Structure 1
């Protein structure tokens, strides 16, 4: 992997919302890697560069709002010549219950506006995704409000657990052993 993108919305009013699970994941990874995310205007986001085993790893949190995340991702990818299969996008997932995290490459976009914009700007859906389950409100008309609010008190520790469990497979992902990471992440204890 050369680029880890955490999806979310910038601004204090969105901090701690379900939609910002990707930001939370990247913040924790940055802490683990002793990296500091800083504003980078040319990439429309917060960025950190980390040297991992002779490879530069970029951490990115687009500050363009969710539905324009592709602008940020494409700018960094074009500048550093990063290919789609070298990217992992970490995002909230309505189709997974809180407490579940799944890793996959390519596939559908599930109506996720951040993923749609990234796929449109890259010209492909063939990038890795780490999906952090946030659950579904049950009514598709309630989705926009649901994702822009903090999780209920019984959901918050489950989402936190999914983030933590998925961070534990980061060393495998970093080595390019994504299938091994998938197996470990998707296997119940």
Structure 2
């Protein structure tokens, strides 16, 4: 069994520790824990991790957030992985910071990265791991918030949040989405 795990984010040092890059940060942590490394490949940084007999192909698109679908579509086809076996890690302002929810499908909810994946990969029916970054911003300042760096308190809490997300990724690939949602969703 093989899976495509996509962490959404933006490339470049100015985006590295921003809320919008929580998908990148979580996959970086997973690869570090497994002793792996990243290589630059077509439209993405790519790594592979074996877990309990499953091959996890991890990508961080280099297309920037709003064109993430281009990389996802390419790697789904290149690796011959169906939508049921992909998982997109994404920041979500509608969920309080630290909470994580896995969904089998859903709307983009205004998230441009998810909108582009929907447009290029055939709709909304793909699994996603929504990582709460909260909505502590004034009206009209959402872009500044998601592209802003984590507060010190958030940064301190980030490792445990990412570790839970990694457990959920492993669950998705072993026990399946339904059982993982039951066991882990906040």
TM-score for the superposition, normalised by structure 2: 0.91
Q: Output the CA distance in 1 between the equivalents of 2:78 and 2:100.
A: 30
Q: 1:2 to 1:166 in 2, by over 3 A?
A: same
Please name the residue that 1:158 is paired with: 157
Please name the residue that 1:19 is paired with: 20
Q: Which runs of 5+ in 2 are unaligned?
A: none
Please name the residue that 2:132 is paired with: 133
Please name the residue that 2:91 is paired with: 92
Conservation of the 8 A alpha-carbon contact between 2:48 and 2:56: yes
Please name the residue that 1:115 is paired with: 114
Q: Over aligned residues, Cα RMSD in angstroms?
A: 1.7
Please name the residue that 2:55 is paired with: 56
Conservation of the 8 A alpha-carbon contact between 1:70 and 1:114: yes
TM-score for the superposition, normalised by structure 1: 0.90
Alignment of 1:139-154 (within 5 A): 139-154=138-153
**Equivalent residue of 1:121, what SS?**
helix
Q: Output the CA distance in 1 between the equivalents of 2:51 and 2:61.
A: 22
Conservation of the 8 A alpha-carbon contact between 2:51 and 2:170: no
Q: Output the CA distance in 1 between the equivalents of 2:35 and 2:154.
A: 29
Q: Output the CA distance in 2 between the equivalents of 1:34 and 1:52.
A: 13
In the TM superposition, what is the alpha-carbon distance from 1:53 to its structure 2 partner?
A: 4.8
Is the counterpart of residue 2 in structure 1 residue 11 in structure 2?
no
Conservation of the 8 A alpha-carbon contact between 1:50 and 1:56: yes
